[in-house]
A and B are shown apart, each in its own frame.
Chain A
Amino acid sequence: MRPDIEQALCLREDLTASVLEGFLRDEVRKVGFERVVFGLSGGIDSALSAYLATRALGREQVHAVLMPYRSSSPSSLADAMEVVRDLNIPHTVVEITGPIDAYFEQMDKLLGKQASPLRRGNRMARERMVTLYDLSAAMNALVVGTSNKTELLLGYGTQFGDMASAINPIGDLYKCQVRQLSAYVGVPQSILNKAPSADLWADQTDEKELGFTYDDADEILYQWVDLRLSPDEIVERGYDESLVRHIVQRVQRNQYKRKPPIIAKLSGRTIGIDFRYLRDWGH
Chain B
Amino acid sequence: MASDIQRVAIAQIAPKLGDLGANLERHHEYIREASAQGAQLIVFPELGLTGYQTQDLTLEVARSATSPEIQSIVDQSREIDVLFSFVEETQDHLFYVTALYASQGKVVHKHRKVYLPTYGMFDERRYFAPGDRFDAYASSLGTAGILICEDAWHLSAPYLLAMQQATLLLVPASSPWRNTMAAAEFGSHAFWRHLLQMYAQLLGVHIVFANRVGYEDGVHFYGGSGVVAPNGSWLVEAATGESELVVAEIDRRLTRRMRYTTPLVRDERVHLVASQLHALLQRGDFRAPGH
Contact = CB atoms under 8 A, between A and B. Distances in A.
Contact of B218 (A8, A23, A281): A23
A175 to B, nearest CB: 15
Interface stretch (B53-61, B74-82, B96-104, B253-261): B53-61
Contacts of A276: 55-56
Given A26-B215, A278-B17, A7 B183 contact: yes
Contact of A10 (B17, B55, B181): B181
A48 B215 CA distance: 21
Interface stretch (A12-20, A67-75, A86-94, A99-107): A12-20
B180 A19 contact: yes
Most A CB contacts (10 A, CB to CB) among B180, B215, B216, B241 go to: B180
Most A CB contacts (10 A, CB to CB) among B218, B220, B222 go to: B218
B217 interface: yes
B183 A8 contact: yes
Contacts of B183: 7-8, 10
A278 B53 contact: yes
B177 interface: yes
A8 B215 contact: no
B180 A16 contact: yes
Contacts of A283: 17
Nearest to A269: B56
Interface in B238-264: 240-241
Contacts of A23: 215, 218, 220
Contact of A15 (B17, B56, B186): B186
Interface in B147-201: 177, 180-183, 186
A277 B180 contact: no
A17 to B, nearest CB: 10
A8 B179 CA distance: 10
Contact of B182 (A12, A275, A278): A12
B180 A281 contact: no
A10 B182 contact: yes
Interface residues of A, number: 25
A188 interface: no
B241 A278 contact: no
Contacts of B220: 19, 22-23
A218 B217 CA distance: 25
A171 B18 CA distance: 26
Contacts of B240: 15
B241 A22 contact: yes
A82 interface: no
Contacts of A282: 18
Contacts of A19: 177, 180, 220, 222, 241
A275 B59 CA distance: 12
Interface residues of B, number: 21
B232 interface: no
B48 interface: no
B181 to A, nearest CB: 6
Most B CB contacts (10 A, CB to CB) among A10, A19, A280, A283 go to: A280
Given A15-B186, A22-B241, A283-B17, A278 B180 contact: no
Contact of B180 (A7, A11, A26): A11
B145 interface: no
A26 B214 contact: yes
A9 B218 contact: no
A27 interface: yes
Contacts of A279: 217
Given A19-B177, A19-B241, A12 B186 contact: yes
Contacts of A8: 181, 183
Interface string B217-234: 110101000000000000
B279 to A, nearest CB: 36
Interface in B8-24: 17-18
Nearest to B214: A26
A73 to B, nearest CB: 33
A15 B180 contact: yes
B147 to A, nearest CB: 26
Contacts of A30: 215
B20 to A, nearest CB: 13
Contact of A11 (B55, B56, B182, B217): B182
A276 B218 CA distance: 16
Interface string A246-283: 00000000000000000000000000000111111111
7 contacts: A11-B181, A19-B177, A19-B220, A19-B222, A23-B220, A277-B55, A283-B17
Interface of B: 17-18, 53, 55-57, 177, 180-183, 186, 214-218, 220, 222, 240-241
Given A15-B240, A278-B53, 20 more contacts: A7-B182, A8-B181, A10-B183, A11-B180, A11-B181, A11-B182, A12-B182, A19-B177, A19-B180, A19-B241, A22-B241, A23-B215, A23-B218, A27-B215, A277-B57, A278-B217, A279-B217, A280-B217, A281-B18, A282-B18
